[in-house]
Amino acid sequence: MGACVDISSVDKLYLVVLFVIPGFIGMKFYGIAVAGDKLDASKAIVDAVAFSCFNYAVFSWLIYWVQTSDLKHAHPVFYVACWVFVLLFAPILCAAALVWLRRSKLVARWLPHPTGKAWDYIFSQREQFYLIITLKSGKRIGAAYGPQSFASSFPCEEQIYVEQVWDIDDAQGFMSAHTNSRGMLVSGANIESIEFIGPNHESEQTDDEASTGNCTGRVSTPAEGIPAGGEQGGRRIPAGNGQDAASPAAAEQDQQVVL
């Protein structure tokens, strides 16, 4: 059941400002940083109070110094600024620290990752990829996911916009980019799987490749990664699983997400 906060008196208003507002600020920031359900204010009063108490515990040293010193009378402006920081900005710092901790490898060993869906996780990395999108109809689409591309995040429906579309052949891989295309929008409901291909540069080849003379990569791109302005890579990108000389030399960079 939803909770209703009574702020009809000054004392109750103080309680709301001290124990509810900081918690809502921190929880809202956490919800923005981590894809999740939208915050329902009517059902989150207890969580907001708990987060506010956590915020005060972290910054108890500052609160103690402000309240026990003569700051209120000697420097009233600075006194107010300290409380504004504790009430409005400190919760954001606490939320940011929680997001960082939950995403760290050390904490990830014991707690689930804060990002609930693989779709949100991979695209939140903001990396550039070449993609092989397999639709439920069986059709395969080659694409470049670059700085102008976009992928939706939870709780919105999965959709992906790719800024560059490629003709793809099962035998020879990525053939050529569509020169007159401004990109493609694909609905996640129509996607069976997505293969992510990291751009491979000549300087990233392994010692084994150099010793065997195998200098074929999945893609040849400029130093920035994905070609900009419709530029095409210098060689074809193999998309099949054949055993010819064009087989992937950087397979360790590939990732597979199955929806």
Strands 129-135 and 140-145: antiparallel
Is pLDDT of 83 > 80?
yes
> What pLDDT, on a 0 to 100 scale, did the predictor assign at position 222?
40
234: tokens are 């210098």
> What pLDDT, on a 0 to 100 scale, did the predictor assign at position 221?
40
**Residue-range domain boundaries for the chain:** 10-108, 118-258
> What pLDDT, on a 0 to 100 scale, did the predictor assign at position 233?
44
User: For residue 155, is the peptide bond before it cis, meaning its omega torsion is within 30 degrees of 0?
Assistant: yes
**Greatest CA separation for the chain:** 81
Distance in angstroms (rounded) separating the CA atoms of residues 218 and 250: 7
> What pLDDT, on a 0 to 100 scale, did the predictor assign at position 175?
82
> What pLDDT, on a 0 to 100 scale, did the predictor assign at position 230?
45
User: Which region among 190-204, 209-223, 228-242 has the lowest average model confidence (pLDDT)?
Assistant: 209-223
Mean pLDDT estimate for the chain: 75
pTM score, whole prediction? 0.54
HSE on the CB side for 24, CA within 13 Å?
Answer: 13
> What pLDDT, on a 0 to 100 scale, did the predictor assign at position 122?
83
